[in-house]
Amino acid sequence: MKKIIDAVETVVDQALDGMVVAYPEYLVRVAQTSVLARANPKEAGKVGIVSGGGSGHEPAHGGYVGFGMLDAAVAGEVFTSPTPDQVYAGIKAADHGAGVLLVVKNYTGDVMNFDIARELADADGIRTEVVLVNDDVAVQDSLYTTGRRGIAGTVFVHKIAGAAAEEGLDLASVKAVGDAVVANVASMGFALTSCTVPANGKPTFELGDQEMEMGIGIHGEPGIERVPMMSAKDVTARLFHRLVDELSLTSGEPIAAMVNSMGATPQLELAIMTAHLGQLARDGGLVLERVLMGEFMTSLEMAGASLTLLRLDEERARQLRARADTPALRIVGH
Amino acid sequence: MKKIIDAVETVVDQALDGMVVAYPEYLVRVAQTSVLARANPKEAGKVGIVSGGGSGHEPAHGGYVGFGMLDAAVAGEVFTSPTPDQVYAGIKAADHGAGVLLVVKNYTGDVMNFDIARELADADGIRTEVVLVNDDVAVQDSLYTTGRRGIAGTVFVHKIAGAAAEEGLDLASVKAVGDAVVANVASMGFALTSCTVPANGKPTFELGDQEMEMGIGIHGEPGIERVPMMSAKDVTARLFHRLVDELSLTSGEPIAAMVNSMGATPQLELAIMTAHLGQLARDGGLVLERVLMGEFMTSLEMAGASLTLLRLDEERARQLRARADTPALRIVGH
């Protein structure tokens, strides 16, 4: 295992400190917790938004804490759900008196621990709601999940529900906006290589020199099938058509897309996929209103990528365009 | 070779198209060239800034085209200098009548081809100046260079000279600002793995399971020495102290820093390095005014990182803080 670390036990703790060194104008770490919260919290009255989950998916989720997205992010150990008390610390940091929305990726451990945290919040009089993200169309159930997994589409939930919260919508309305994103977003990914969880010290799985794994999860969970290496054109088309089918997208509809690196994929390769995405959208008559290209929901140093499509309506398009100012996503408005 | 590509011959051409699909509000591709230019060019009177070089270092340099940084970026093939006619096309795209500054990383091919392009510009009455970046303190001469190499520090030149150009400074003054950055910036990197140039099909070099290469270049050129794997703390300290010595930084001085991934390094590991950077700066009495952490000057899918330190004065600190709005670097002002 070749990693730039000091000890496997301290990886997440040190990285959280590093985030604050890198982004002091955005982030503070809540003392004695694995919670990153806004350095300049919004005044009273805004619905708070909290997300989180296992570490190893950076910039998710601490990178999305800031104006227009999250109020706090809770980090578990690598690929391990944060404990309920950590999640509750995040809820408290995000609470401005108008309730807190939890954006949870659908993994059994996350669902359970965020639920227990909600009970703790309830006992203290903090209202919470949950948006459960399950955008990964690859598999129905998996190693860590009942139902579909939550992956990169989660970032669109952060962005759009985050914009709704900044607009001053109430908790039920912000939840409704988030749920509507979930109902209209789909993702699927593939891997060229595995990744190595520091505490395990060796790759989670092995792939041959000419193999790729379609439908991979963000923790190296198995996908649909192993296939021979495909061209950029073919793999992008396969993902695109699968997602278009899933969302029943039809010609003329406006969409947003995310071309997400799993961690080690060069930006040059993401850009080639994005060129194909542009052509596929044109061929299908879809109006590609915005593309996010880069590292948004990674899996440590895994090589590979995921594609996410989101159906837009006028409201979601506006909320996607709205200003966001976070370490990992800054939308300045054009 | 496992890469998300279609054919080695079309990698750069397709990736340039993909950049425009991803960032249509920022970038246009100049027809029949490998030049990305601003989609909304500044009105007459601003000094233009052009950078470029071989591809494979994304987001350098197309990702830095936009308000407050570059006017155009010229891409060569992977790890290959752009030809003089391509560079000249970039100069023409960036010319608003006030002359054009070329920011050139110190590699023999780049220096030669940018020089020939300057002659072409001169013949057409476009004034140009050059800032030659040689921030890599690791080696004096190398495979592709006479003198020190230009690496990640180049991005600070883009940012600060870019701010000076937006302020309306004239060509000689913008060049002087850029030269002053070069005189006050130093970088050094290391690699845990090699990278594979698509046209070669196999890794440029091999490193053992417990080895790292200190002082690596951004094309896999040899560094200073191969050393056993070091901890995050030790490698960050080694780079930091080497750069502090090089710049003769003394207690109380304000600095900026860049913790740059070579491509495949997880953000979690960069954040650990950044935590150490924060501690090292405090221990040394240096005032860390801004940190850039992420992928800024990569080497395809190489694992490893580089550290850059920049001495600030009041002017440079202000120009570094100034608004920038590009695909890869957005500074919104806090």
pLDDT digits (tens, 9 = 90+) for B244-258: 999 999 999 999 999
Cβ <8 Å between B4 and A209: no
Instruction: State the pairing for strand pair A128-133/A100-105.
Output: parallel
Are residues A157 and A126 both part of a single domain? yes
Domain with B290 in it: what CATH number?
3.30.1180.20
Whether residue A112 is contained in a domain is answered as: yes
Who wins on pLDDT, A334 or A230? A230
Among chain B residues, CA nearest to A207: B2
Please indicate, yes or no, whether residues A196 and A174 belong to a single structural domain of this protein. no
Question: From the CA of B277, how many Å to the nearest CA of chain A?
Answer: 8
The answer as to whether B134 is a domain residue is yes
Query: What pLDDT is recorded for position A41?
Result: 85
Nearest CA in chain B to A282: B21
pLDDT of residue B41: 85
Residue numbers of the domain that contains B54: 8-182
What tokens does A301 get? 């140093």
Mean pLDDT of A227-255: 98
**CA-to-CA distance for B273 and A135, rounded, in angstroms?**
33
Residues 6+ apart with CB under 8 A from A136: A148, A149, A150, A151, A153, A187, A188, A189, A215, A217
Report the chain A residue with the minimal C-alpha distance to residue B290. Answer: A22
Q: To the nearest whole angstrom, how far is the Cα of A97 from the nearest Cα of chain B?
A: 26
For residue A334, pLDDT over 60 is answered with no
User: Does A148 map to a domain?
Assistant: yes
Q: pLDDT (tens digit, 9 = 90+) per residue, A39-65? A: 998 778 899 999 999 999 999 999 999
**Contact between chains at A14 and B229 (C-beta distance less than 8 A):** no
User: How close does chain B come to A219, measured CA to CA in Å?
Assistant: 14
Same domain, yes or no: B49 and B171:
yes
Looking at the fold, whether B164 and B246 belong to one and the same domain comes out as no
Each residue's pLDDT tens digit, A6-22? 999 999 999 999 999 99
- B221 and B125 share one domain: no
Domain boundary among A182, A216, A239: A182
Single-letter code of the amino acid located at B303: A
pLDDT above 80: residue B140: yes
- Please count the CA atoms within 13 angstroms of the CA of A18 that sit on its side-chain side: 29
> E strands of chain A, at which residues?
27-29, 35-38, 48-55, 72-78, 100-105, 128-133, 185-191, 211-214, 225-228, 254-261, 287-294, 304-311, 324-325, 330-331
Both B266 and B254 in one domain: the answer is yes
pLDDT tens-digit readout, A267-319: 999 999 999 999 999 999 999 999 999 999 999 999 999 999 999 999 999 99
Chain B residues touching residue A189 (CB < 8 angstroms): none
pLDDT, tens digit (0-9, with 9 covering 90-100), for B90-124 = 999 999 999 999 999 999 999 999 999 999 999 99
Distance CA B47, CA B51 (A): 13
**Is the same domain home to B175 and B274?**
no
Q: Which of A134, A156, A182 is the last residue of a domain?
A: A182
Contact B22 A264 (CB under 8 A): no
Chain B residues with CB under 8 Å of A295 CB are: 267, 295
Question: Are B272 and A18 in contact (CB < 8 Å)?
Answer: yes
Q: Residue B114 gets which letter from DSSP?
A: H
Nearest-5° Cα angle at A12, A6 to A15: 75
Q: Is residue B313 part of a domain?
A: yes
Test the A interface: residue of B4, B25, B307 with most A CBs within 10 Å: B4
CATH number, position B31: 3.40.50.10440
B51 and B20, same structural domain?
yes
What pLDDT does residue B333 have?
66
In this structure, are residues A323 and A167 in contact, taking their beta carbons and an 8 Å threshold?
A: no
How close, in Å, is residue B264 to chain A by CA atoms? 4
Same domain, B243 and B315: yes
Residue A52 DSSP code: E
Q: Is the pLDDT of residue A92 over 60?
A: yes
- Tens-place pLDDT, residues A98-118: 999 999 999 999 999 999 999
Do the beta carbons of residue A306 and residue A235 sit within 8 Å?
no
What does the buried/exposed string (b/e) look like for A98-115 if buried means 16 or more CB atoms within 10 Å of the residue's CB? bbbbbbbbbbebbbebbe
Gap between the Cα atoms of A131 and B253, Å rounded:
47
Q: Residue A2: which of B78, B229, B259 has the nearest Cβ?
A: B229
Query: What residues of A act catalytically?
Result: 57, 219
- Confirm whether A2 is domain-assigned: no
Question: For position A223, what pLDDT does the model report?
Answer: 85
- Does residue B111 sit in the same domain as residue B14? yes
How many other C-beta atoms lie within 10 A of the C-beta of residue B40? 11
The residue among B160, B182, B204 that closes a domain is B182
Residue B3 resides in a domain: no
**A56 and A194 assigned to the same domain:** no
The reply to whether B143 and B189 lie within a common domain is: no
Identify whether B57 is a catalytic site residue.
Answer: yes
Residues on chain A touching B278 (C-beta within 8 angstroms): 17-18, 21
Q: Which residue in chain B is spatially nearest to A23 when comparing CA positions? A: B291
B241 catalytic, yes or no?
A: no
Domain count, chain A: 2
Residue B300 lies in a domain: yes
